[in-house]
Every structure is written in C-alpha cells, then in structure tokens.
C-alpha cells in the first residue's frame, strides 16, 4: 500500500478533524462552509429550502446594488408639477406602491410618493390635494452598495425603496427591499405569478397572464386571432419581433386588437405578458415603468 492511500483507521481521524473545525466556528473559507452545509442537507439535518436560503444569504454579501437594480430606463417617475388627476392613471395602470417624484429633471429625485397616501388624500381633498405635502424622504445609495449592508439600512430606516445614483449623482435605478429579499428566498409571488404548468391564466377582469413560451398557435386559439406562426414559434418571440428588440418590463404593444404588456423580462428574453382588449381601459400603446 502506498503512503498516499488511506487506511480504515484514518477515517475516524478525518471526521474528528472536520467536526473539530466546524465546532471551532472557523471554516477555512466559504467553500468549506458550503460543503459542511450541503453535507448537513445530505444527512437530513437541513431541508432543501433551508439550504437554499442560507446559500442566498451568503450570495447576497457578494452582490451590489448595480447587480439587481431596476435600471433608469424602466423606472416610472412622477413629475412634481403633474396634477394629481393626471398621476392617477399611471398609479392604477402600473399597480406599484411607491413612485420616485422628480423636480427639475429625471435625475432630480425629491421624494417618494406612496400610492396609499396619494389615493387617501385624493379621496379626502380631491383636486386640492398637493402630492409634495405627503412625500417621503428618498434614500440614496451608490451603485456599489453591498446588498447585505443595504438590507440592514432598509431595516434601520424602515424604508422599502432606495434610489441608486451614479458617480455624477444622477438616477441610475432603484432597488426595493423585495428585490433584496428575493435574492435570499427566491421570487416572491405577486399578482403576476401563476402555476408554471399554466400557459394562459385569465383573471376575473378579463385580462390574462400569458407565459412568453406559449406557442403562437395556442395563443391564437385562446384569443381567437390569426397571428402568423411561420417566423416565430412562441408569442414572446413574436412580440420581440414586432418591437424589433428584446422587450423590457412594462413595454406595451398593440397586437390585432389586444394590448400586450410585458410584466416580467430580463436582458435576454421576455418571460410573462399581460394581455387584455385594447379598449378595456384606454391603455397607452407604449410605456415603461418600475417601482
């Protein structure tokens, strides 16, 4: 037997060394720590969800605001001087709970308007309501802000949205507390989530959430259309083709009497679409948003 080969008597010693290392609280590096955690999962001491969350926590400490922020081009802002009645359609259409309010330019974020504050005051004061009176102070962070530090800041400031600024102090994007938490626990269900086995989910108001990978043929059958399927196999591909670029979140397209709005997308492709009859609520033909 060569010197490199292990004898059975060495196995207990190796396990004792590993146990001593764990009990000492001093894994040599992050890979060692993850190995111990995964070993605990393999032995049934931790379930898969718990392991995934701990790995998410470790991963968050390596990420910065720029890695997960909603970019400037996809942020819905409300100009300070916009009349409240003109703000309402944007608030209702997007469904967001918080909106950056800007002053002289898009880079001049002067506060955060909560939809609940706006709707409550509008109901009470009507046209006399002045949004600037209920603005919450904005929380500014640099693009390099680490997510673990940002999460702590959210908790201490009791804030749910931060304004990410670039090196010149301009608006680079926004990050919400939900964006950070999702890095740990995975996607948090919202009104646009649905069973992964369902390609088209219709709501009571007549709108539908459609998986972008839905075949054009199935989309046509469901909505009674005759969209061509010779160039694109999926409805997501057809929408991207009509727009001429990879769609971004909240982009809107009129499609044979339907309004198609992108509700989930990344830099590579679109994931979910919201579809409703174009005349349902006078939706605009294009737009961007986030918040």
Q: What is the pLDDT of residue 268?
A: 66
What is the CATH number that goes with domain 66-185?
A: 3.10.580.10
Residue 75 exposure: Cα atoms within 13 Å on the Cβ side: 27
* The pLDDT of residue 145: 93
Q: Any bridge partners for residue 79, and if so which?
A: 102
Q: How far apart are CA 172 and CA 82, in angstroms?
A: 22
Model-level pTM? 0.55
Give the pLDDT of residue 143.
94
CB contact set of 219 (below 8 Å; sequence gap of 6+): 200, 210, 225, 227, 235
Query: Given the DSSP bridges, would you call strands 161-165 and 208-211 parallel, antiparallel or unpaired?
Result: unpaired
Q: Are strands 270-277 and 208-211 parallel, antiparallel or unpaired?
A: antiparallel
Residues 6+ apart with CB under 8 A from 242: 253, 255
pLDDT in tens, the chain (291 residues): 444 444 444 544 555 565 555 455 555 666 777 777 777 777 787 777 777 777 777 777 788 898 888 888 888 999 988 887 888 888 887 778 899 999 999 999 999 999 888 888 777 776 677 777 889 999 999 999 999 899 889 988 888 999 999 988 899 999 998 888 877 766 555 555 555 556 888 877 788 888 888 999 999 999 999 999 888 889 999 998 899 888 887 789 998 889 999 887 766 678 888 898 865 444 433 333 344
The rounded distance, in Å, linking the Cα atoms of 124 and 119 is: 9
Q: How far apart are CA 193 and CA 138, in angstroms?
A: 29
CATH for 200-277 is 3.30.465.10
**How many degrees, rounded to 5, is the angle at CA 237 between CA 234 and CA 238?**
90
Residue 93 Ramachandran class (φ > 0 left, ψ -120 to 50 alpha, else beta): alpha
String of DSSP letters for 83-129: -HHHHHHHHHHH--SEEEEESSSTT-EEEEEEHHHHHHHHHHHGGG-
H or E element at residue 277: strand 270-277
Domain boundaries, the chain: 66-185, 200-277
């Amino acid at each position: 037997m060569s010197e490199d080969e292990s004898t059975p008597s060495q196995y207990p010693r190796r396990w004792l060394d590993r146990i001593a290392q764990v009990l000492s609280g001093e894994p040599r590096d992050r890979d060692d720590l993850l190995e111990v955690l995964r070993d605990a999962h393999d032995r049934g001491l931790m379930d898969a969800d718990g392991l995934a969350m701990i790995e998410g926590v470790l991963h968050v400490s390596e990420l910065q605001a720029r890695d997960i922020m909603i970019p400037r081009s996809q942020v819905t802002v409300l100009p300070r001087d916009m009349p409240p009645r003109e703000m309402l359609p944007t608030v209702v259409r997007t469904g967001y709970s918080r909106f950056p309010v800007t002053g002289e330019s898009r880079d001049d974020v002067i506060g955060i308007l909560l939809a609940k504050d706006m709707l409550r005051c509008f109901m009470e004061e009507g046209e006399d309501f002045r949004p600037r009176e209920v603005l919450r102070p904005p929380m500014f962070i640099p693009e390099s802000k680490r997510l673990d530090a940002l999460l702590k800041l959210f908790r201490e400031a009791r804030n749910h949205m931060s304004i990410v600024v670039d090196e010149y102090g301009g608006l680079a994007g926004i990050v919400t507390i939900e964006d950070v938490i999702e890095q740990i626990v995975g996607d948090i269900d919202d009104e646009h989530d649905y069973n992964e086995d369902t390609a088209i989910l219709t709501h009571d108001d007549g709108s539908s959430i459609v998986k972008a990978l839905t075949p054009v043929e199935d989309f046509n059958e469901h909505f009674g259309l005759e969209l061509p399927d010779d160039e694109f196999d999926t409805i997501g591909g057809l929408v991207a083709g009509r727009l001429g670029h990879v769609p971004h979140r909240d982009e809107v397209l009129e499609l044979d009497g339907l309004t198609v709005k992108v509700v989930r997308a990344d830099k590579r492709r679109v994931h979910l679409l919201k579809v409703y009859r174009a005349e349902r609520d006078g939706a605009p033909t294009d737009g961007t948003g986030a918040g």
